[in-house]
Amino acid sequence: MAPRNRQLSSTPLEILLFLNGWYYATYFLLEIFMFVYKGLLLPYPSANLALDLVMLFLYLGIEVTRIFFGSKGNLCQRKVPLAISLALTFPAAVMAAYYLLLQTYALRLEAILNAILLLFYAVELLLGILTLAAFSRYPLVNVFAISGKKPCVFLVDFSTPWFEKFEDTSIVKISERLCASLKRGTKIRIM
């Protein structure tokens, strides 16, 4: 059982996700300006330029989704959004490696920016795995309550201080009252 009032969210992970969000916004704008620069001054094939720009916007979507799910999963102490964020770290790292090594013309500034992004990803992946392990160590316990014809499922976190104040019979009474007011199949989490 988790210690009383213990928060399992990772502050360093949240700080890194926040900083990565701002860094990626800056990175995206600088990449757009660098593509304009390369398109005007270098013999950049138009098909390659279009492909690189489309991939940059795809990369933007992946990164925004990854940061959103990572922050949501960390702050809400949810395993699934955090796992989605960790899974999206790999395509994001592949895109950073592409812009670091494989694009038609890679400037030195791009190499530096993408190396910093890969460093962010490595540290966030490590902290995300540790945070996910912490969430898995203290699982939620299902409490089933049936009131009349409406079965309900309540997810109760036994580490919260309010749970220690009640006996099992009180939880059942609370569950029966809540079941009577909910639609069939509704899931709630009491915190």
Q: Does the CA dihedral 159-164-170-174 come out positive or negative?
A: negative
Eight-state DSSP code of residue 190: E
Are 95 and 55 a contacting pair, CB within 8 Å? yes
Are 154 and 191 a contacting pair, CB within 8 Å? no
- At position 105, the amino acid (one-letter code) is Y
Could you give the percent of the chain with pLDDT greater than 90?
A: 58
Tokens of 144: 């089933």
- At position 136, the amino acid (one-letter code) is S
Model confidence, pTM? 0.71
Average pLDDT estimate for 3-25: 86
**pLDDT, tens digit, 9 for 90 and up, residues 72-114:** 999 988 899 999 999 999 999 999 999 999 998 899 999 999 9
**pLDDT, tens digit, 9 for 90 and up, residues 60-72:** 999 999 999 999 9
| Residue 186, SS3 per DSSP | coil
**Is residue 179 scored above 90 in pLDDT?**
no
Q: Compute the distance between CA of residue 162 and CA of residue 4 in angstroms, rounded to an integer.
A: 10
Q: Compute the distance between CA of residue 84 and CA of residue 78 in angstroms, rounded to an integer.
A: 11
Closest to 35 (Cα-Cα) out of 11, 18, 52: 52
